Amino acid sequence: MDQNIALIEKQCHKQIQIFTKCVELNEDTWQTVCSTEKENLTKCSSENPMIQLINKNCKNEFRKYDSCVRDNGSQLYNCMESLEQFNTCAARTVNGFGSSGYFKK
């Protein structure tokens, strides 16, 4: 997972900074106020092959987590279980991705 995060941070550094700043400045309303910034970050990160594979393999887990986030707004602690399920799926995907040779130098 760390490899993938590093790739996204490198590839989407500007979008991450802009989105993070928007969220920090709009703590209670970021979901609506920062929608453009979120879309830009999502677009950038979705161009990463690892993210494409995670999206494919873990779409149900992500949908559950995303729905929880939308339903719970600023009370994200309610979404820890669904986040853990998504993270577990993503970790399995990343481990399989690396072992299949995609990350071989």
- In whole angstroms, give the CA distance from residue 87 to residue 85: 5
Residue 29's H or E segment, with its range, is: none
> 47-61 pLDDT, tens per residue?
878 888 888 999 999
Share above pLDDT 90 across residues of the chain, in percent, rounded to a whole number: 36
Confidence of residue 105 (pLDDT cuts 50, 70, 90): very low
pTM for this predicted structure? 0.59
pLDDT at 4: 56
43 pLDDT exceeds 60?
A: yes
